[in-house]
A and B are shown apart, each in its own frame.
Chain A
């Protein structure tokens, strides 16, 4: 290994990056864009759900119940004036996402100490939102019941304590995901493109006929991207903590260390891709299918892994981001130490070793395939 030849490759790679607007765009605009998109557009918190109310009872009690719905920030309540037959048009025309129907004699039945039923109809075209709406409705009705019985007659109550993200905000949830996504994108996508570009343009043929070793080419090419990945990672963390108020409970040093480990895993993935792909187009396609999509879908970034069918869960065990997400969320929100993250660290390290060994061996020093 000759450091001067490695430095020559790295220096040249930096010039490529600086002169290529597409790469610059991915490096500097992508992180900001992703944060903006997820931070403002992608919002898992539900607010201002329009609820149509049909109050057939029109009693003091029924009005009290409705007031409770009105008092919640999650609901915007309005009274439905149309006919019963046209009720569905509320959903069809997206005027309301839930309908609350209070039957006649609601108050009378309750005062007579009999159980009274009310009906909630929910538009479940978005099932996640429907579940949340259902839960909020139950919550309000439970509170209402507790108020009626004077707080004494309930056999027991459930008091929820939500830790690590008590307001259940989205930001602490998506910022680690974006970090993983971006590091994968830069490390895997850009490195695979940079090596296949040299294959395509014939420059690899030219530099192979020099005393350079494959390891020197690989390390020289990868170094600038490690730096950039780190730069971008820090940028996302800083923006996440300052703008999106993501808590940072754990050790910054540990996070930096494990971020380096994840970058290494992602880079080895990129190297593997570049040994398979012969053109930039193929490399890009492979990178999207084999790294970006799994990171987005099979890492637990957006969709919980536990609720996936077994085959997908099995696939997710080889998605590096799955482990990195546990690490980042653990360190940022819970203050995890290395001892509690050992399994994840070992998985990432193991994957890196396997991938690097394969790409090292497959990296051809001549033009024979």
Chain B
């Protein structure tokens, strides 16, 4: 059963077309990722799902409820964590949780057990009397997540929850999300970190208000038609310029100390040697790698597979 259905949704702000007819469906209990850079329209879509924005056209149903008609009903079963930290900085951890429990009218007798569970996975209990404003970035995100979960929502919507958080806390946060998903909650999460795509059951690559590719991370990568090589050596910038002139090359991206190059067909060892000689790159090393989400995404961005 589809828990969330987005059908041909478009939204325009003045001249900007934030969403250009987006459609997707999320299964119950699925961890679904919207992957894309800033300004791709992820936030607009998530806010529309949360009934905070009204799409210009198209429809969205959450657990069978229509976002244009059943606003209070949707808000009661949905947990939302906005992009920016949106809790009360001058309230303590416990006071924030209490406030959201009151807001969602969590029955008094259920609270101790729920708090215990939330404190268990967030490990925030030792800090419960600390002001939210004095928490670290990772702890703030865990508190925001706890507040979004206080009413045990059926569907959880998270807008770039790991943005600006250190790698260790990011990993911890994703582990928590997996626990929540194991409990049967549907999760829709957006991120600009491509490496987080692999944490999701299914992903949609978002670019300029459109979905460029959708499916499980493996499927999205598997559908990539080109062979990807990791090239290392000296004078990478010159190498990049050189390869850009080769007809087999479909995309080149500089990744720190290496180039990721996608080819329309696998170059033969002779070709490699010839390139190394012709371009004057004596120390050139190459190895074929399986494409990462980032390779796929960048290829889409450059219009290579369009």
Which residues of A line the B interface, CB within 8 A? 2, 4-5, 7-8, 11-12, 15-16, 19-20, 201-203, 205-213, 365-368
Q: How far is A4 from B104 in the complex, measured between Cα atoms in Å? A: 10
Q: Which listed residue, B47, B76, B86, touches A367 by the CB 8 Å rule? A: B47
| Interface pair B86/A210, CB less than 8 Å apart | no
For B88, the chain A residues whose CB sits under 8 A away are 12, 15-16, 203
Q: Which listed residue, A12, A365, A367, touches B99 by the CB 8 Å rule? A: A12
Q: How far is A207 from B147 in the complex, measured between Cα atoms in Å? A: 11
| Interface pair A203/B102, CB less than 8 Å apart | no
Query: With A210-B103, A211-B104 as given contacts, are A368 and B53 in contact (CB-CB < 8 Å)?
Result: yes
Q: Could you write out 20 A-B pairs with CB less than 8 Å apart? A: A5-B102, A8-B99, A12-B88, A12-B95, A15-B88, A16-B91, A201-B89, A202-B84, A202-B85, A203-B86, A205-B82, A206-B82, A206-B86, A206-B87, A206-B147, A208-B75, A211-B72, A211-B104, A366-B53, A366-B71
Besides A209-B52, A209-B75, A365-B71, 10 more A-B contacts (Cβ < 8 Å) are: A5-B103, A7-B102, A8-B102, A11-B99, A15-B91, A205-B86, A207-B103, A210-B76, A211-B76, A367-B53
For A203, the chain B residues whose CB sits under 8 A away are 86-88
For A213, the chain B residues whose CB sits under 8 A away are 72
Q: How far is A290 from B33 in the complex, measured between Cα atoms in Å? A: 48
For A365, the chain B residues whose CB sits under 8 A away are 71
Q: Which listed residue, B72, B90, B99, B102, touches A20 by the CB 8 Å rule? A: B90
Closest to B131 in A: A19
Closest to B84 in A: A202
| Interface pair B105/A2, CB less than 8 Å apart | yes
| Interface pair A16/B51, CB less than 8 Å apart | no
Residue among B52, B89, B100 having the largest count of chain A Cβ atoms under 10 Å:
B52
Instruction: Tell me, yes or no, whether B124 is within 8 Å of chain A by CB.
Output: no
For B78, the chain A residues whose CB sits under 8 A away are 209
Within the complex, the shortest CB–CB distance from B92 to chain A, in Å, comes to 9
For A208, the chain B residues whose CB sits under 8 A away are 52, 75
Instruction: Tell me, yes or no, whether B54 is within 8 Å of chain A by CB.
Output: yes
For B103, the chain A residues whose CB sits under 8 A away are 5, 8, 207, 210-212
Q: How far is A7 from B102 in the complex, measured between Cα atoms in Å? A: 9
For B53, the chain A residues whose CB sits under 8 A away are 366-368
Instruction: Tell me, yes or no, whether B296 is within 8 Å of chain A by CB.
Output: no
Q: Which listed residue, B54, B76, B89, touches A368 by the CB 8 Å rule? A: B54
Contact with A along B57-97 (1 / 0, CB 8 A): 00000000000000110011010101011111111000100
Query: With A210-B103, A211-B104 as given contacts, are A15 and B51 in contact (CB-CB < 8 Å)?
Result: no
For B100, the chain A residues whose CB sits under 8 A away are 210
Instruction: Tell me, yes or no, whether B50 is within 8 Å of chain A by CB.
Output: yes
Q: B-side binding surface: helix, strand, loop or mixed?
A: loop
For B90, the chain A residues whose CB sits under 8 A away are 15-16, 19-20
For B95, the chain A residues whose CB sits under 8 A away are 12, 15
For A15, the chain B residues whose CB sits under 8 A away are 88, 90-91, 95
Within the complex, the shortest CB–CB distance from B109 to chain A, in Å, comes to 15
| Interface pair B82/A202, CB less than 8 Å apart | yes
| Interface pair A211/B75, CB less than 8 Å apart | yes
| Interface pair B51/A210, CB less than 8 Å apart | no
Going nearest first, the 8 A-B pairs with the smallest beta carbon separation are A8-B102, A202-B86, A206-B86, A209-B80, A19-B90, A202-B84, A367-B52, A210-B103
| Interface pair B91/A12, CB less than 8 Å apart | yes
Residue among A11, A210, A366 having the largest count of chain B Cβ atoms under 10 Å:
A210
Q: Which listed residue, A4, A12, A212, A366, touches B52 by the CB 8 Å rule? A: A366
Contact with A along B224-256 (1 / 0, CB 8 A): 000000000000000000000000000000000
Closest to B153 in A: A209
For A202, the chain B residues whose CB sits under 8 A away are 82, 84-86
| Interface pair A4/B102, CB less than 8 Å apart | yes
For B91, the chain A residues whose CB sits under 8 A away are 12, 15-16
Closest to A8 in B: B102
Q: Which listed residue, A5, A207, A367, touches B105 by the CB 8 Å rule? A: A5
Residue among B53, B100, B102 having the largest count of chain A Cβ atoms under 10 Å:
B102
For A206, the chain B residues whose CB sits under 8 A away are 80, 82, 86-87, 147
For B75, the chain A residues whose CB sits under 8 A away are 208-211
Within the complex, the shortest CB–CB distance from A16 to chain B, in Å, comes to 6
Query: With A366-B52, A367-B52, A368-B53 as given contacts, are A201 and B105 in contact (CB-CB < 8 Å)?
Result: no
Contact with A along B93-124 (1 / 0, CB 8 A): 00100011011110000000000000000000
| Interface pair A4/B105, CB less than 8 Å apart | yes
Q: How far is A145 from B252 in the complex, measured between Cα atoms in Å? A: 108
Within the complex, the shortest CB–CB distance from A131 to chain B, in Å, comes to 52
| Interface pair B72/A201, CB less than 8 Å apart | no
Q: How far is A206 from B99 in the complex, measured between Cα atoms in Å? A: 12
Within the complex, the shortest CB–CB distance from A219 to chain B, in Å, comes to 14
Query: With A2-B105, A207-B103, A211-B104 as given contacts, are A366 and B82 in contact (CB-CB < 8 Å)?
Result: no
Q: How far is A209 from B87 in the complex, measured between Cα atoms in Å? A: 13
